[in-house]
């Protein structure tokens, strides 16, 4: 069995997103603004490692080290 990590790389500011949503916007803004829509709806969710800039190479190294430690074989990136 292979273990694949799914990665959605939009947790950093980018010119494209800033053009459409405003300066400094990231997907974290969507997450921070989420509200429960019905009883028992568990929103908002918060990242266990806190809010981070995944475009930072040091952050990528942390993710790679963690994946290697826990046996992740491959990455699937939602581009």
Question: Among 49, 2, 52, which residue's Cα sits nearest to residue 28?
Answer: 52
Instruction: Give the tens place of pLDDT for each residue, 1-60.
Output: 999 998 887 788 899 999 999 999 998 998 888 999 999 998 888 888 888 888 889 988
Rounded Cα gap, residues 66 and 79, in angstroms = 22
Tokens representing residue 47 in the block: 């990242």
pLDDT value for 40: 94
> What's the whole-model pTM score?
0.68
């Amino acid at each position: 069995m292979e273990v694949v990590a799914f990665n959605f790389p939009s947790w950093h500011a980018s010119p494209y997103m800033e053009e459409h949503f405003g300066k400094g916007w990231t997907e974290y803004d969507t997450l921070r603004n989420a509200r429960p829509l019905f009883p028992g709806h568990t929103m908002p969710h918060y990242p266990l490692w806190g809010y981070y800039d995944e475009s930072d190479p040091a952050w990528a190294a942390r993710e790679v080290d963690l994946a290697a430690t826990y046996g992740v074989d491959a990455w699937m990136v939602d581009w």
